[in-house]
Chains A and B, each alone.
Chain A
Amino acid sequence: MSDPRGAAVASDSDASDRNGESDPSADDATGRESDATGRESDADATESVDAAAAESAGAPTDRESRREIETDRWLGIAGAALALVGLGVLVRQSSLVLAGAVGVGYAVYARAGDAPTPTLAVTRSVSDETPAPGDEVRVTVRAENVGEGALPDLRLVDGVPPGLAVVDGPARVGTALRPGTAVTFEYIVRAARGDHEWEAMTAITRDAAGARERTTAFDAPTAIACTPELSAGGDLPLRGLTTVHHGRVPTDVGGAGVEFHATREYRRGDPLKRIDWNRRARTGELSTVELREERAATVVLLVDARESAYAAADPDAETAVEASVSAAGQAFSALLDGGDRVGIAALSPLDCWLPPGSGTVHAARGRETLATDPALAPTPSDERFYRSLWLRRFRRRIPADAQVLFFTPLVDDTAASLARRIDAHGHLVTVLSPDPTTTETAGQRLTTFERRQRLRALRSAGIRALEWGDDSFPVAVAAATRRWSR
């Protein structure tokens, strides 16, 4: 365990001389930790004292025993002592025998105690339960020893949600707590999209000699929900599968619109402004100009959130799922603004389905789905993904006139194969692929070639596909739009 350098303080009247780091004898640990974090820590110390006074009778937090082991720190000391005594006897040196006796003392010391089972009242608070992405959230953890016995060596490691990164201070502390005393430590996490629940806090206790170690988990539920605002971006050209409602997608149906489609023989009742007067002047015949009808589309945004999609060019970079969800949010907003009906689905072991719709209530639902649906969580699900089961359910749900915008990094054949199958079932598919590949090693280069070939194969099969890497999604969409309109 690393040394705790966070704003850790023990609190009660004589806490300052009992609060150590990993070594319980380090009595000045509190002072050093407070100094390390400056003024804020001093304020925390004060709060902690007040809080300790107010909550000193806190109920113990539910705990779960995880592990109990011998640390083997003193293993061999008895052997060394015996060898010294034996050597002393052999060479007839009483000083060596005496030195061996000291070793025996240490061996007895190592076997004297047991790692205590901690009884703690753990509370965790966050400065903002609904932060925006990128906001810094201060987390304050307080653990009070509400048990009967002292904890001579206690290490607390908080269960930070796997989707969040700590940007300031370690989420852990090492201290010693007598009954009735408490320790408080703080750290700061950077908020990221999604619902984030804290995992159980791990407490590791040792006996005074450090010979035995006990690991216990304390469950103190805490959560934050981070819901990004949807910004319209990437005015994506849709494919020619539309509903009967008026919208923005040009069709091959003649009628009212902007773009010229055809001319036909005049029928009684046609509006005067649609009569082709030039032709009338040339030939004397009356004919009517037909324009391409622009209709609304039904679009389902399908986000690949299988385990393989949680990929990035660097282990600490944003995953392709994050890039996909962000792009899907922009497309969702842009399509709704354009009058189309938009739904959301996830290619994930967990079910996620928002039927296509429109309106402000639907926009709010879509935003909520993209931000916090468990299927689109920032970390992959442990459940297993069944492709044929998922496809059956998806086909049952998707409206017949819906087209699909499929956000996938295309890092395996499954995504490409599903895109082809959905397209073959009559739902025109556009693949939008964030590029998570890199080319530093042989395996990475090979994976890059395979992905590139999948994209080409999709395009050859008549499926529109665009990818974006360092470019932003709207820039990639603009470039693809120019290409597709040629």
Chain B
Amino acid sequence: MRPLAVAGVLAVAVGLLAALDRGVASAISPTSTVVTLIGVLGVVQGIRYANARRERRRVPADPGDPERRAPAAVPGAALDERIARAASPAPGGYRDRRDLRDRIREVSITAVARDRNCSREAAAAAVDDGTWTDDGAAAAFFDTRTAYPLRVRLSAGVRGRSNYWYGLRAVIDEIERIESRGDA
């Protein structure tokens, strides 16, 4: 930028001198080429400056929404964000997926143990080997040796979602079925 700035200062100085002293002005020959060059320079620099507006992120004052009462937290909203992160088809997020799977596994084990009136160990074994449910996607969610059903993989491929997301939904549906059986 420094050479450009020096050139700019020089140009302004010459311009001022030319305005004050006709001798200097007559020394600069206003040929068509010089005028065209000045015009091109003006257009290019002008577009550059105008473009700065596009790149600048405007942050106006935000006084918030004081008329609204402080919103309450909805239980599960933060978990939904975690699920969205973990179930994203983008690579990575292994740790998020594992943590979430562990948490859902605990809920599933508790539900199965109560439903079958068995020990937690037996329930954990059923959950881990997929025998706790008839839903293939729910079974595959915990059992890494079981592949997701073809329809799930196709659906995931077409809709751009991950198998993990379908598995998680299937597990939650299955827990709900078990819970409602227990309450009935």
Q: B56 contacts which chain A residues (CB < 8 A)?
A: 72, 75
The total of chain A residues at the interface (CB under 8 A) is: 75
Indicate if B49 sits at the interface (CB-CB under 8 A).
yes
A-contacting residues, B11-40, CB 8 Å: 35-36, 38-40
Q: How far is the CA of A447 from the CA of B78 in the complex (A)?
A: 10
Q: How far is the CB of A7 from chain B (nearest CB, A)?
A: 15
> Of A165, A213, A451, A452, which is within 8 A of B68 by CB?
A165
Indicate if A310 sits at the interface (CB-CB under 8 A).
yes
Q: A318 contacts which chain B residues (CB < 8 A)?
A: 72
A447 with B66, Cβ < 8 A, contacts A76-B49, A86-B38, A86-B42 known: no
Contact with A along B35-56 (1 / 0, CB 8 A): 1101111111111111111001
Q: How far is the CB of A173 from chain B (nearest CB, A)?
A: 12
A-contacting residues, B51-97, CB 8 Å: 51-53, 56, 58-61, 63-64, 66-83
B41 and A312 form a contact (CB under 8 A): no
A79 and B74 form a contact (CB under 8 A): no
Interface residues of A (CB under 8 A from B): 1, 67, 69, 71-72, 75-76, 78-92, 155, 157-160, 162-166, 170-172, 187, 192, 199, 202, 204, 213, 215, 307-308, 310-319, 378-379, 409, 411, 436-438, 441-453, 456
> Of B48, B51, B79, which is within 8 A of A447 by CB?
B79
Chain B, residue nearest A91 (CB): B39
Indicate if B10 sits at the interface (CB-CB under 8 A).
no
**26 CB-based A-B contacts, threshold 8 Å:** A69-B59, A76-B53, A79-B45, A82-B46, A83-B50, A88-B39, A90-B36, A90-B43, A157-B66, A162-B70, A165-B69, A170-B67, A202-B63, A312-B72, A316-B69, A319-B72, A436-B72, A436-B75, A437-B75, A442-B83, A443-B79, A444-B77, A447-B79, A449-B172, A449-B179, A453-B107
Q: A91 contacts which chain B residues (CB < 8 A)?
A: 39
A82 and B104 form a contact (CB under 8 A): no
B interface bracket (residues with beta carbon within 8 Å of A): 35 or more
| Interface residues of A, dominant DSSP | mixed
Q: B162 contacts which chain A residues (CB < 8 A)?
A: none
Q: How far is the CA of A447 from the CA of B103 in the complex (A)?
A: 11
Q: How far is the CA of A76 from the CA of B73 in the complex (A)?
A: 43
Indicate if B110 sits at the interface (CB-CB under 8 A).
yes
Interface residues of B (CB under 8 A from A): 35-36, 38-53, 56, 58-61, 63-64, 66-83, 103-104, 107, 110-111, 114, 168-169, 172, 175-176, 179
B74 and A438 form a contact (CB under 8 A): yes
User: Could you say which of A87, A170, A307, A449 has the most chain B C-beta atoms within 10 Å of its C-beta?
Assistant: A449
B63 and A442 form a contact (CB under 8 A): no
> Of B35, B67, B74, B179, which is within 8 A of A313 by CB?
B74
Q: A71 contacts which chain B residues (CB < 8 A)?
A: 58, 60
> Of A311, A409, A446, which is within 8 A of B107 by CB?
A446
A445 and B59 form a contact (CB under 8 A): no
Q: B169 contacts which chain A residues (CB < 8 A)?
A: 442
Q: How far is the CA of A305 from the CA of B137 in the complex (A)?
A: 40
Q: How far is the CB of A360 from chain B (nearest CB, A)?
A: 34
Q: B49 contacts which chain A residues (CB < 8 A)?
A: 76, 78-80, 82-83
Q: How far is the CB of B152 from chain A (nearest CB, A)?
A: 16
B46 and A411 form a contact (CB under 8 A): no
Q: A312 contacts which chain B residues (CB < 8 A)?
A: 72-74
A314 and B72 form a contact (CB under 8 A): yes
Q: How far is the CA of A411 from the CA of B103 in the complex (A)?
A: 14
B82 and A443 form a contact (CB under 8 A): yes
A447 with B39, Cβ < 8 A, contacts A71-B58, A162-B70 known: no
Q: How far is the CB of B151 from chain A (nearest CB, A)?
A: 20
Q: How far is the CA of A200 from the CA of B68 in the complex (A)?
A: 16
Q: How far is the CA of A92 from the CA of B82 in the complex (A)?
A: 62
Q: How far is the CA of A317 from the CA of B74 in the complex (A)?
A: 10
Q: B51 contacts which chain A residues (CB < 8 A)?
A: 76, 79
Q: How far is the CA of A448 from the CA of B35 in the complex (A)?
A: 76
Q: B78 contacts which chain A residues (CB < 8 A)?
A: 443
Chain B, residue nearest A445 (CB): B172
Q: B44 contacts which chain A residues (CB < 8 A)?
A: 86
Chain B, residue nearest A160 (CB): B66
Q: A378 contacts which chain B residues (CB < 8 A)?
A: 70
A311 with B72, Cβ < 8 A, contacts A79-B50, A82-B46, A90-B40 known: yes
A452 and B43 form a contact (CB under 8 A): no
- A-B CB proximity, top 10 nearest: A86-B42, A79-B49, A83-B46, A443-B79, A90-B39, A444-B76, A443-B80, A79-B50, A82-B46, A89-B39
